[in-house]
Copies of this chain bind each other. A is one copy, B any other.
Amino acid sequence: MNVSSDPGTAINSLDLPGRADMHAARARIAPHAHITPVLSSRGINALAGAELHFKAENLQRVGAFKFRGACNAVFSLANDEASHGVITHSSGNHAAALALAARLRGVTARIVMPDNAPDVKKAAVVAYGGQIEFCKPTEKAREETVERLRESTPYALVHPFNDRRIIAGQATATAELLEQVPGLDAVITPVGGGGLLSGAGLAARGSGVAVFGAEPANADDAARSLAAGRIIPVEHPDTVADGLRTSLGPLTFALIQRDVRSILTVGEDDIIAAMRLLWERLKVVVEPSGAVPLAALMANGIPSGARRIGVILSGGNVDLKSLPWQ
């Protein structure tokens, strides 16, 4: 399903989350999620030529903003829906996030993962109590495996991004940031499937804060989709930013079309350099995807009119044995 190039028609036909959903998500996840700190570095500001405020979602539970959406989705379920457990297909941070959220609610999490997923990702899911079901590493196999499992047990499906509860949950990261640092001119987040970015747009809507997305040039489906006015999925993206290899879904695309100023793209070397700069100067462990916004700002220049910029550091899950600058 693609969204029409007429956003008015498209949006009216979709069940988009609103700001009330975001406020409800904030209250719902408050007992479980961290209010993550906002960090800054004079050295990075001098290099970037702007005042950057980094929202450290790498310090969120499971090491990524993904916990916000997963937690909101799982705790949104009615008792009878939740009772059978939840299911998703993911080889990334959403898998671990859903496993933890389910454990906190006391229900089962079935995680469909491709059989070639990295050991560290499998271990994270198992550590949070998730039950892994392996499948062939194709989108078709993932979806079929989910459907097969749901035939025997009515697990509640929680898609990684194309889900109004997920988007409302991810929006809480930006909502917090806007309160923690008043007077921002802009917010920039990475964009893969678009949950974090569409949530940022929702959180900033009506505030006058411009919202930007950033993605690898090698996985630039969001930039292409916005330019074309329809979703153009990226095929076999080759990028170090493993969290940004997915393409937009109808809900996230519609919100991004409505609320996001533009998408910046950046090359692989710049992503790795920005990641290293964050480790060296902010002293935090950020995964490649989380460094993409800083990389994009430094490579493209600061958007005009943006002096104080909020940057979401989306996650910090990385294999410390194999760092991309080595």
Contact = CB atoms under 8 A, between A and B. Distances in A.
Q: How many copies does the complex hold?
A: 2
Size bracket, chain A contacts: 20 to 34
Q: State the majority secondary structure of interface residues on A.
A: mixed
Contacts of A326: 321, 326
Nearest to A320: B279
Contacts of A286: 283
Contact of A320 (B58, B63, B280, B284): B280
A237 B284 CA distance: 29
Contact of A279 (B37, B56, B282, B285): B285
A166 B279 CA distance: 28
Contact of A285 (B37, B56, B63, B284): B284
A276 interface: yes
Given A321-B325, A325-B320, A59 B283 contact: yes
A323 B276 CA distance: 14
A216 interface: no
Interface string A268-288: 000000001001101111100
Contacts of A279: 285, 320
Interface in A239-267: none
Contacts of A59: 39, 282-283
A85 interface: no
A310 interface: no
A316 interface: yes
A40 to B, nearest CB: 9
Contacts of A63: 283
Interface of A: 37, 39, 43, 56, 58-59, 63, 127, 276, 279-280, 282-286, 316, 320-321, 323, 325-326
